[in-house]
A and B are shown apart, each in its own frame.
Chain A
Amino acid sequence: GESVGLHLPTLSVQEGDNSIINCAYSNSASDYFIWYKQESGKGPQFIIDIRSNMDKRQGQRVTVLLNKTVKHLSLQIAATQPGDSAVYFCAENLQGAQKLVFGQGTRLTINP
């Protein structure tokens, strides 16, 4: 499949452990944030989103935390599974801008 990034930061975790992927966003006026997962050969897949009036949102096995003070976003994946291996991107949107600005991505690898 395609390589989505030759020099991406990499996070290696043991299967069953929790993973935390971090992202610093660029625009303090951004008010919508999304995490995407991209597997080799596929387009980005929506995982979870959060709006700026919240600081935490939970989904199935995933939690997103937003710290607007330091412009930081994190994705927590509980009980990491082999199928979680992928590149994870954060993205931000400024209302009215009609575009997403993506972070550089983090490659998550799962050790058996």
Chain B
Amino acid sequence: KAGVTQTPRYLIKTRGQQVTLSCSPISGHRSVSWYQQTPGQGLQFLFEYFSETQRNKGNFPGRFSGRQFSNSRSEMNVSTLELGDSALYLCASSLSGAHNEQFFGPGTRLTVL
């Protein structure tokens, strides 16, 4: 069974631009979560989607948004990029939510210049 895939793996953007990251969950998984990982803050929860509905959102500004499609694939978008948005963005999928085993993808490394 294929694991969680994330594209692109690496991305370089400049301040003020926007970016869209993609996540394909494991087949059959309906919950997709996104996390931001930085050396200073560690792993921080961004949001979680299940059956195209956002069920929970972390403490991030409105510049961070996401969505989930009917095939459970998910995208997250960051608008008006800031230097502090440089991070590893991780996607995790599970059958039904955070109370089940979550499988992480390799992440997208975003660098904002």
By a beta-carbon cutoff of 8 Å, the part of chain A in contact with chain B is 2-7, 32, 34, 36, 41-46, 49, 89, 91, 93, 95, 97-105
Query: Taking A5-B39, A43-B90, A44-B90 as contacts, is the C-beta distance between A98 and B104 under 8 angstroms?
Result: no
Cross-interface CB contact of B98 among A41, A93, A104, cutoff 8 Å: A93
Cross-interface CB contact of B33 among A4, A46, A100, cutoff 8 Å: A100
Cross-interface CB contact of A99 among B37, B45, B101, B109, cutoff 8 Å: B45
B58 touches A99 (CB 8 A): yes
B55 an interface residue at 8 Å Cβ cutoff?
yes
Q: Is the interface of A mostly helix, strand, loop or mixed?
A: loop
Q: Is the interface of B mostly helix, strand, loop or mixed?
A: strand
Cross-interface CB contact of B56 among A2, A4, A99, cutoff 8 Å: A99
What is the number of residues of chain B that contact chain A, defined by CB distance less than 8 Å? 29
Residue of B nearest to A89 (CB): B43
A100 touches B102 (CB 8 A): yes
Residue of B nearest to A45 (CB): B104
Query: Taking A32-B99, A93-B99 as contacts, is the C-beta distance between A99 and B33 under 8 angstroms?
Result: yes
Cross-interface CB contact of A46 among B98, B101, B109, cutoff 8 Å: B101
Contact sample, A vs B, 8 pairs, CB 8 Å cutoff: A4-B37, A5-B39, A41-B106, A43-B107, A95-B99, A98-B33, A98-B99, A99-B98
B88 an interface residue at 8 Å Cβ cutoff?
yes
